[in-house]
Amino acid sequence: MKTILYATDYSENSIAALQSAHLLTQKFNAKLIVMHVFDIPISLASPVSVSYMNKEKKLFVEHRAKLKEFLSEHLGSSWEAANISFVVDEDGSVWNGILEKALKFDANMIVVGTKGASQVKEFLLGSTTKALIQRAPCTVLAVPKTVKCTHFKKMVYATDFEQADNFALRRLVKIAKKFDAQVRVVHITTQKEYAGEEKMEWFKEMLNEKVDYKKMDFDLIFSDTIFEELVWYLEDSEADLLAMLERKNNTFYQKYIQNDMVRKMVKDIKVPLLSFNVVGL
């Protein structure tokens, strides 16, 4: 991993994401691009007025300074010696602005914060985070504001026995090795939907042929309340990260969470969510 792009709106929700992005750049000796996207509505009467262009230029300067202040406040002075660059962009769509820069700089990962209420709901309700996960050409890490990021020692990968999981887990293992982390691959299903032990064994054999990592375990769990079981599993395993595979019309969240279970859930997932887009694999 050579380049990580972190986007912020300067809010409290994005502080933990900044710390996670900084930690990852240190582990991978990668470049960190810190960016902010702003928007100036153009008056229909004078779309290219001189006053508009002057205001735009002033805002670019102000936001670059604000980004540096934000890093100094939340990372201390250590960031000044790091490989960090600052990008300010004007775009009416935040996620579009982020994706354009991710493509321009060939980013390997996009890191963003999630709102405190429920990051899972964020994913399902058309937010910037959801748009990034669905469209990004690279991995997306969404970090809740409550996360205290000092390490990633236990990582959980939620699988539905997709062949593409093979590629996603190879990417996850590369990250896990940097932290000497345990990877737990979990499949949560109902008794009615379960395809049998043969599929689990096939999946494990497929992974063992392609992914060489000793600290990987497999868990099969039966439950009629998939989301609640996942929350319990993350807490019980003391997970520091949840990873998933994003595929069009066939994701873990779309299959198991984008329905009435969202309304029933008792707790929110409080760990960072790492999404591997099949387009970027």
- Mind listing the pLDDT tens digit for each residue in 240-270? 999 988 765 555 555 554 443 333 333 356 8
CATH 3.40.50.620, domain 1-146, yes or no: yes
Strands, E, within 9-63: which ranges? 31-38
The residues of the chain that CATH labels 3.40.50.620 are: 1-146, 151-281
Tokens representing residue 248 in the block: 């069009």
CA distance 165 to 153: 21
CATH superfamily name and code, 151-281: HUPs (3.40.50.620)
Q: Of the candidates 31, 32, 27, 29, which has an alpha carbon nearest to the alpha carbon of residue 179?
A: 27
Query: Among the listed ranges 152-156, 199-203, 217-221, which one has the minimum average pLDDT value?
Result: 199-203
Note the pTM of the prediction, 2 decimals.
0.84
Contact 112, 7 (CB under 8 A): yes
Strands, E, within 76-171: which ranges? 84-90, 109-114, 139-144, 154-158
**Residue type present at position 121:** K
Per-residue pLDDT tens for 81-137?
A: 678 899 888 777 788 889 999 999 999 999 998 764 444 444 433 367 777 877 888
